Amino acid sequence: MQQKISILIIEDEKSIRDFMKKTLESYGYRAEGVATGTEGLGMINSYVPDLVLLDLGLPDLDGLEIIEETRKWSSMPIIVISARNQENEKVEALDLGADDYITKPFGTDELLARIRTAIRHNNLIHKEKGKADKPYIAKSLKIDFEKRLVLLNGEEIHLTRVEYKIVSMLAKNSGKILTYANLIEEVWGPHADDNNRILRVNMANIRRKLEQNTGEPEYIFTELGVGYRMLEDEGEN
Ligand code: CA
């Protein structure tokens, strides 16, 4: 029998914790829930789950501390559960090494999609280090990383070097959010000014080239105040 994927839920709101546990179990995951940060850290170290769902607002510890502690020794995927209008906290969580976040209230489909993406990425990181990157394919867009070619409906799209760097990084992490700071550091280096303006200018140009309607993007979505997320790759996992 295949080993079930185990998920640890750290959330002090009982109704949300119970909803997530029940949902995950009904979809074939093993799920454990705890209500405090201390118990959560204990479980991360003893139970070593395949993925953690972490509420940042806990009664005893700051959720951010849990991310920091865990990242000292583990790359297990951590998805932050946050309330609306906490952009700064989300950004901080992602910069400390959280893989993604989901905003309350959320539905089952969204929760499951985020979990699948985070687990897939984690597996890819471990399995495919050093292997050539497979092309990104979603809807009418294809990116061939080896040839550095971007095709929309089979037609080559000309991107500048910087635009290509941004798009390829988003595509290689498709489905996952990348913060402004992640992107700026990757594209312009660790000493770049962390001013988002140049990134936004580039993104506007990218969208003009890739999107039919830049007001309703199909490929690259804005996560307001946090960063960007690219449509998940349809290629085989
Ligand atoms: Ca809470």
Question: Residue 206 is part of a domain; what is its CATH number?
Answer: 1.10.10.10
DSSP 224: T
Greater confidence (126 vs 35) lies with 35
Do 20 and 100 share a domain, yes or no?
Answer: yes
Residue 201 and residue 90 share a domain: no
Q: Which domain holds residue 154?
A: 136-230
Query: Is it the case that residue 73 has pLDDT exceeding 70?
Result: yes
| Helical (H) or strand (E) element with 229 | strand 227-230
Tell how far the Cα of 80 is from the centroid of ligand 1, in angstroms: 11
Do 91 and 121 reside in the same domain of the chain?
yes
Q: Quote the number of domains for the chain.
A: 2
Residue 32 lies in a domain: yes
Same domain for 114 and 169, yes or no, is no
Query: Within this chain, do residues 103 and 19 fall inside the same structural domain, yes or no?
Result: yes
In a domain, 204, yes or no: yes
In-domain check, residue 237: no
Asked if the structure places residue 82 within a domain, the reply is: yes
C-alpha of residue 232 to centroid of ligand 1, in Å: 29
Output the pLDDT for position 237.
46
Is 218 found in the same domain as 155? yes
Write out pLDDT tens, residues 147-190. Answer: 889 999 999 999 998 899 999 999 999 998 999 988 988 888 77
Amino acid identity at 17: R
14 CA distance to ligand 1 centroid (A)? 9
35 alpha carbon – ligand 1 mean position (Å):
9
- The secondary element (H helix, E strand) that includes residue 8 is strand 6-10
Instruction: Please give the average per-residue pLDDT across 116-138, as a whole number.
Output: 76
pLDDT exceeds 80 at position 132: no
3-state secondary structure of 116: helix
CA of 123 to the centre of ligand 1 (A): 29
Backbone angles phi, psi at 42, to 5 degrees: -60, -45
| Dist. CA 12 → ligand 1 center (Å) | 5
**Is 236 within the bounds of a domain?**
no
Cα–ligand 1 centroid distance for 171 (angstroms):
32
How far is ligand 1, taken at its centre, from the CA of residue 36, in Å? Answer: 9
Residue 135 has pLDDT above 70, yes or no: yes
The answer as to whether 52 is a domain residue is yes
Q: Residues within 5 Å of ion ligand 1 by Cβ?
A: 12, 55, 57
CA–centroid distance, 52 to ligand 1, in Å, is 15
Domain boundary among 102, 127, 152: 127
> What rounded mean pLDDT belongs to the chain?
89
- Please tell me the distance between residue 71's alpha carbon and the centre of ligand 1 in angstroms: 21
The answer to whether 51 and 76 have CB atoms below 8 angstroms apart is yes
Instruction: Quote the ligand 1 centre to 59 CA distance (angstroms).
Output: 7
- Give yes or no for residue 9 having a pLDDT over 70: yes
Alpha carbon distances (Å) from 119 to 59, 76, 183: 28, 9, 21
Cα–ligand 1 centroid distance for 57 (angstroms): 4
Among 86, 107, 127, where does a domain finish?
Answer: 127
In a domain, 235, yes or no: no
Q: What is the pLDDT of residue 148?
A: 87
How far, in Å, from the CA of 48 to the mean position of ligand 1?
22
Residue 25, pLDDT score? 97
pLDDT category at 191 given cuts 50, 70, 90 is confident
| The pLDDT of residue 190 | 72
Asked if the model's pLDDT at residue 84 lies above 90, the reply is: no
The rounded percent of the chain whose pLDDT value lies above 90 is 68
Residue 129: its pLDDT value, please? 52
Task: Inform me whether the pLDDT recorded for 126 exceeds 70.
Answer: no
Q: What is the average per-residue pLDDT within 99-122? A: 91
Instruction: Encode 21-85 in three state secondary structure.
Output: HHHHHHCCCEEEEECCHHHHHHHHHHCCCCEEEEECECCCCEHHHHHHHHHCCCCCCEEEEECCC
> Which pLDDT score, from 0 to 100, does residue 128 have?
56
Residue 232 confidence class, pLDDT cut points 50, 70, 90 = very high
Of the three residues 59, 93, 127, the one that is the final residue of a domain is 127
**Interval between CA 58 and ligand 1 midpoint (Å):** 5
Residues 97 and 161 grouped into a single domain = no
In angstroms, what is the span from residue 161 Cα to ligand 1's centroid? 43
Q: Is pTM beyond 0.75 here?
A: no
Task: Please say if the pLDDT value at position 131 is more than 70.
Answer: no
- Express each pLDDT in 63-72 by its tens digit: 999 999 999 8
For range 82-90, the mean pLDDT: 82
pLDDT (0 to 100) of residue 87: 81
The reply to whether 113 falls in a domain is yes
